[in-house]
Amino acid sequence: MSTLIFFVSWICLAAGGLFCVTGALGLVRMPDFYTRMHAASVTETLGAGLILLGLLFQAGLTLIAVKLLMIGLLIFFTSPTATHALAKAAYARGVKPLLATDGSASSKP
């Protein structure tokens, strides 16, 4: 049983790391503020959640697991809220989204 928990833990840790790297790549590759923010927020929430889940499996039923759950809940509620607040503030300041002008799905950076 402990071998199964070990492998599930490392799968969660690797998948979480992959999502975090994908989010970082999205910050570099996306053309405007809103798409960068979306790429970072979605992958950061899922990536951090998977990393915390993997650490939770490694910790077992201890006080550390309770602390990891508290951190997970904090990230789960604050990350989308902060992203929404940033988007609303950027829109209020006049930052316009980059939209396609010729009707196609792609746009120029």
Say how far apart CA 103 and CA 20 lie, in whole Å.
32
Quick check: is 28 in a domain? yes
- Per the domain annotation, does 21 fall within a domain? yes
Main-chain dihedrals φ then ψ at residue 54, nearest 5 degrees: -60, -40
What's the number of domains the chain is made of? 1
DSSP-derived 3-state class of residue 92: helix
**Residue ranges making up the domain that contains 21:** 2-92
Q: Dihedral of the CA atoms 70, 7, 42, 26 (nearest 10)?
A: 130
Closest CA to 9 of 47, 53, 46, 71: 53
In a structure prediction context, what are the per-residue pLDDT tens digits for the chain, which is 109 residues long? 688 999 999 999 999 999 999 888 888 888 888 888 888 888 888 899 999 999 999 988 899 999 999 999 999 899 889 989 998 999 899 888 887 665 555 545 5
pTM here is 0.78
Query: Does residue 109 form part of some domain?
Result: no
Residue 107 lies in a domain: no
- Do the domain assignments include residue 100? no
16, part of any domain: yes
Q: Is residue 64 one of the residues assigned to a domain?
A: yes
CA distance 57 to 42: 23
The answer to whether residue 18 sits within a structural domain is yes
